[in-house]
């Protein structure tokens, strides 16, 4: 299967064009819209790393959050623990690589006859993703060391994404020692609860979400608005 992880938005012509390229070049392969409202590359990478763990080896992730499209950044393919990730060298794939037990990087040297300066997702990344999904590696590429990851943290104690309900996902994977501790965010102290209904309406809580990340919410409310949150805001567990 090919999974689309982009910042294109759910409306407009971009997702449809990319999906059309995938279906033309990989007929019979399932194409799934995983995320279409990803944030900037660095926080988006933590969301991508959390999401990909639930998919089997052989899955291909087409990852396009590319504000530097047309610039000097490289085009990369990453194989991490048996899954493939295709996208720009701008930090988007780094967290997946850091968290993986096994990884290898390929630089994508292939270029199509026609390459839009502003839509590499359609013209460059999508055809490569389709070929990898077909297990076709007959396109120009070379093994590379990949980005420098020594200082790249495998988790980030900050907000990386807001869902449709205003809940705030962090890039912090849940650990048992977090249970029962209060979380400080924007000078507010948020209690731990396992389910929303464990707190009164309008009350903030943090919990272990379905991706195994620490998430902040407000029961019957929007955490982004009630707590005044933004992408990148830090969180801290109190002793």
Q: Whole-model pTM?
A: 0.97
Buried b (16+ CB within 10 A) or exposed e, 165-196: ebbbbbbbbbeeeeeeeebebeeeebebbeee
CATH architecture type of domain 2-144: 3-Layer(aba) Sandwich (3.40)
The Cα 126–Cα 132 span in angstroms is 10
User: For the chain, which residues make up each domain, given as ranges?
Assistant: 2-144, 156-237
For residue 239, what pLDDT is reported? 77
- How many of the other CB atoms lie within 10 Å of CB of 65? 25
CATH placement of domain 156-237: 2.40.30.90
Per-residue pLDDT of the chain (239 residues; tens, 9 = 90+): 999 999 999 999 999 999 999 999 999 999 999 999 999 999 999 999 999 999 999 999 999 999 999 999 999 999 999 999 999 999 999 999 999 999 999 999 999 999 999 999 999 999 999 999 999 999 999 999 999 999 999 999 999 999 999 999 999 999 999 999 999 999 999 999 999 999 999 999 999 999 999 999 999 999 999 999 999 999 999 97
């Amino acid at each position: 299967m090919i999974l689309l992880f982009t910042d294109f938005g759910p409306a407009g012509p971009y997702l449809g064009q990319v999906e059309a390229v995938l279906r033309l070049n990989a007929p019979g392969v399932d194409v799934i819209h995983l995320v279409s409202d990803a944030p900037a590359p660095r926080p988006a990478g933590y969301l991508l790393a959390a999401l990909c763990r639930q998919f089997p080896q052989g899955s291909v992730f087409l990852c396009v959050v590319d504000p530097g499209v047309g610039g000097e950044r490289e085009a990369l393919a990453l194989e991490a623990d048996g899954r493939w990730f295709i996208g720009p060298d701008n930090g988007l794939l780094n967290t997946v690589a850091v968290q993986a037990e096994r990884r290898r990087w390929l630089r994508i040297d292939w270029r199509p006859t026609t390459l839009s300066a502003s839509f590499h997702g359609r013209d460059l990344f999508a055809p490569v993703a389709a070929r990898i999904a077909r297990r076709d590696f007959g396109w120009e590429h070379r093994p590379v060391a990949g980005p420098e990851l020594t200082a790249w943290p495998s988790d980030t104690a900050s907000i990386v994404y807001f869902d449709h309900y205003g809940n705030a996902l962090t890039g912090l994977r849940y650990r048992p020692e977090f249970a029962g501790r209060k979380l400080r965010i924007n000078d507010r102290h948020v209690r731990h609860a396992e389910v929303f209904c464990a707190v009164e309406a309008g009350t903030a809580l943090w919990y272990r979400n379905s991706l195994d990340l620490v998430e902040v919410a407000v029961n019957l409310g929007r955490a982004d608005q009630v707590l005044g949150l933004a992408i990148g805001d830090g969180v801290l567990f109190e002793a």
